[in-house]
Amino acid sequence: MISRRHIRVLVMQTLYSLNYSDSAFENINTTITKTQNIFEDKVEQIALNYYIAIHYLIRIVHYDQIVAGRAQKKYLKPTSRPTSTVSLADNSFIQKIEQSEVYQKISTKNRLENFNNQDLIKSAYQLLTATEEYNAYKVLPTTDSSSDRKIIETLWNKVVLENENIQALFSDEILGWELNIEPVYRLMSNLFKKNNDDALTNYVVQEYVEYGKELLQAVIEKDSYCDKWIAPKLKNWDEDRIAVIDMILLKLGVCEFLYFETIPTIATINEYIEIAKSYSTPNSGQFVNGVLDNILKDLTANQLINKTNLKSNG
């Protein structure tokens, strides 16, 4: 499922896009509604990226039928035909997905048939058939659910994820692919473990979506109040050199300190350090850590921190 950390990332990205809007924060209620809608669209975009990725795995497997048909025409004499009886096109892992009514509805709803990049499909198939795993798979006397799953995992991990050319084709074909590859990877890993309807539909905990919307609302409503606590910690910093993303992360952190009682302060700091390292400048992790830590001390001294249920993992 989409992690709480990535929900934070989506909130950050939403606020970052808003930062350059002329209308940002002019009307609080309008801005809250707008940003929450953008945020929810981003969550749905991750799900769509996940479904398109599954769709292309299916199409790549189907390409084996085309290749087999060509081979059948080439080898006219029975004694000349390939001896392997294993067909990738008969892969049980893929067939289970295709035969699922849930997946069929997902495919229809999202018009997955429109995603039909033949260069991507052919290139990925050729790369797969060149792997040691595929050659070992083809000489099996018969396949089972385990061997069928493993060859699709090879297709996903060694071809789709590791090959730069395939990644470039996915990025060109799928809106938001580069931004969403991390949560899509998590969702696909879950699919390989379960391969059931639950793995197709339960891509995010609704509680996390509500958390993201509430966090957006808090940052927008309390923007000036957050600045009150952040500004004194930036006196020795050139304001023009502070990354916009870092400022957004600081405000998110302050809001979590103050308004999200079930999230431990250490979890908040650690999460925003890691996000800063991944999405901002090389020094951002250290910067966010130092500033949030100092703000937390001030908030604690003023008895403004009220945390409950601290068993939460953040």
Read off the pLDDT of each residue in 15-22 and give the average, rounded to a whole number. 70
Query: Angle at the Cα of 97 (from 94 to 100), degrees rounded to 5?
Result: 145
- CATH architecture observed for domain 4-32+206-301: Orthogonal Bundle (1.10)
Mean pLDDT of the chain: 90
For residue 95, what are its two tokens? 């067939």
- From CA 191, how far away is CA 75, in angstroms rounded? 38
Per DSSP, 102 falls in state: H
Nearest-angstrom CA–CA distance, 13 and 5: 12
33's tokens = 């509604």
Question: How much is the pLDDT for 238?
Answer: 73
Residues 147-174 have pLDDT tens digits of: 999 999 999 999 999 999 999 999 999 9
- pLDDT score for 73: 54
pLDDT at 17 > cutoff 90: no
Specify the pTM. Answer: 0.89
| Delimiting residues of CATH 1.10.940.10 domain(s) in the chain | 4-32+206-301
Q: How long, in residues, is the chain?
A: 314
pLDDT over 90 (residue 79): no
